[in-house]
Amino acid sequence: MCGIFCSVNFSAEHFSKGLNENLLYNLKQRGPSSSNQLLKSDVNYQCLFSGHILHLRGVLTAQPMEDERGNVFLWNGEVFNGIKVTAEDNDTQIIFNSLSSSNNESDILSLFSAIQGPWSFIYYQASCHYLWFGRDFFGRRSLLWHFSNLGESICISSVGTQTSGEANQWQEVPASGIFRIDLKSTSISKCVILKLYTWKYNSRENVSKEYVNSLTQITADLPRFVSVETNEDKLYLEKPVVPLNMKLPPAPFETHCTSISRVLPTGETLQVYLTDKHMKKVVQQFIDVLSISVKRRVLCLQREESLTPNKVLNMCGRKANIAILFSGGIDSMVLATLADRYIPIDEPVDLLNVAFMTKEKNIPTSFNNKKNKQKKHHCEIAPEELSENLVATTNDQFDKQFNVPDRITGRAGLKELQIVSPSRVWNFVEINVSLEELQQLRRTRICQLIHPLDTVLDDSIGCAVWFAARGIGCVVTQDEVKSYRSNAKVVLTGIGADEQLAGYSRHRLCFRTHGLEGLNKEIEMELGRISSRNLGRDDRVIGDHGKEARFPFLDENVVSFLNSLPIWEKANLTLPRGIGEKLLLRLAAVELGLTASALLPKRAMQFGSRIAKMEKNNEKASDKCERLQGNSLENLSIEKEITV
């Protein structure tokens, strides 16, 4: 995980200006291991590069990187497959070496087509005055752009910042391919032309299919002096996943699965499916491909040497390197079970479970005293102190205020995991958030990260994920309740499972209205928009804690496997909730030894954590969220004083 930034100024009056203080702060939050800047000047323009590193694997390699030819590279990503990177290697250096030795555009495109894993990058090709940048196919790493008025400057960054009175300052770079800007030409014409190298899929019949986002869609939100064009040579990136199988069953679907539909909606239904040899084989194939995905994501980081057998009993001080956003639902339970296969047994795993106070209660006196002391500094309670006070006041009545659905299923899931893997230390981190703390941290910190997204849904999920990833809470044992802060640098999240396996309620509505054909189209659309709807936002809010989000369900091989299956082998929405949606994942859970969690119905994070409707009851998810508007630079200064 890194924070990467580049600004290009074409007007001499903007030359030699440093990086905006607030933006620099946001970038440093993402990369606490190393921070550097580099200035490159030309007669016609000036480039400022800034790189901030979260060191996870290989040798710590500072960014920006520059070679003897004057090329500059900024990389925010992980190579999990596709090109060779050993445990001792640093992928930034390997990719930059390949870019430096590239002879033409085709070499550059071949390199990024081969990489499997999340990435965003910025590459300055000095000899051609080209600036290359882009995100991976799914947009798993955030990248934003900002074009100043009249084309005087361009900014590209992992995260932006809001300026009072300026709306829509930053926009997400579409995950439509790789973009290239000719800086010399732009400095002369004052018009920005973005050359797009889009993602395409080549089948064996050599038929190309355009990516969902057209040039018109990309250009629509850009200033009038910015245009997007396809490259003249019709070069493109090769899609990393196979097309979605749109096949329909030969007989009506209801007839196709009548025998199973008559079974009672219990675990017996799943057992009936597993008696079918073909289905059992498909389930095992899914477990295998998802296991490899999880393995890569829990092992690709530096960790302490494993303890010797005679020291395993004394593990109380052992640090967790992996955390999981954990509700106890089917997605997080399967990830935890598979992660347990590969994480050293003497290493704890942090299960991050967030809950929001279900109703307002009187704030303890200690809170008010601390608040009065803070007034002279023009800021409120420091968030860490507030969280610790919440832990300190834990009792039966207090606990009920946070007894939200995800807390209940999370505790049940913990018990299941302790049965499946009793030797593992599972740190179930109860993260309790009051209304006061939510409002304070949203105003001073979180709204900066959700931006430029701005809906009620973005607010709910963005805030919930931010607090969960921060990992400040308590761990309850048989003997005590103790304050706990997760320092795990890698956070696994189950995003991608619902989109591919028909997990949302809207999938049921679509199936009832348009049948399997409509459901296929809905799933295709879900994957096509996941970069703009979810992943950039989630990367920004998790990365703000100096932690890296990893998405096992969006591994290229996992997506290709699921795309290759017909829809009825992934879901059966004629069956009740808790069975029919994400059917394939539920079958995998049963095969992995999970029980009650395999039958839990889908519950969205904003409802399971009870953040939705916490402040307003009449909002729709798609509404613009007033709480994300009107942030000021004064609030950012306050945030720096209290430093989360």
pLDDT in tens, 436-465: 999 999 999 999 999 999 999 999 999 999
Domain range annotation of the chain: 2-238, 318-546+603-642
pLDDT at 375: 37
Residues with a catalytic annotation lie at 2
- The set of residues, in sequence order, having a beta carbon less than 8 Å from that of 16 and lying 6+ positions away, is 39, 46
Distance CA 39, CA 309 (A): 52
Q: What are phi and psi of 408, to 5 degrees?
A: -65, -50
CA 61 to chain centroid, in Å, comes to 23
The C-alpha angle 376, 381, 383, rounded to 5 degrees, equals: 140
Assess whether the previous peptide bond of 250 is cis (omega < 30° from 0).
Answer: no
Q: What is the CATH number of domain 318-546+603-642?
A: 3.40.50
Query: Encoding tokens for residue 308?
Result: 């010797």
The kind and range of the H/E element at 135 are strand 130-135
Which burial class, exposed, middle or buried, applies to 34 when counting CB atoms under 10 A from its CB (0-12, 13-18, 19+)?
middle
Q: How many Cβ atoms from other residues are within 10 Å of residue 567's Cβ?
A: 23
- The set of residues, in sequence order, having a beta carbon less than 8 Å from that of 454 and lying 6+ positions away, is 624, 625, 628, 629
Distance CA 7, CA 19 (A): 9
**Identity of residue 74:** L
The kind and range of the H/E element at 215 are helix 215-220
Q: How many Cβ atoms from other residues are within 10 Å of residue 566's Cβ?
A: 13
**Spans of the chain, pLDDT less than 50:** 204-209, 211-212, 255-256, 258, 261, 263, 307-315, 361-383, 385-386, 388-394, 632-644
CB–CB of 190/223 below 8 Å?
no
Query: Encoding tokens for residue 191?
Result: 């018009």
CB–CB of 486/352 below 8 Å?
yes
Long-range Cβ contacts of 302-311 (<8 Å, 24+ apart): 302/55, 302/56, 302/57, 303/344, 303/347, 306/344, 306/346, 306/347, 307/346, 311/346
Distance CA 166, CA 528 (A): 30
Nearest to 132 by CA among 80, 81, 71: 71
**Helix 583-591 × helix 330-342 angle, to 10°:** 40
Distance CA 127, CA 306 (A): 48
CB–CB of 158/142 below 8 Å?
yes
The C-alpha angle 235, 241, 246, rounded to 5 degrees, equals: 110
Assess if CATH 3.30.1360.180 describes domain 2-238: no
Nearest to 607 by CA among 352, 350, 354, 335: 354
Distance CA 522, CA 246 (A): 11
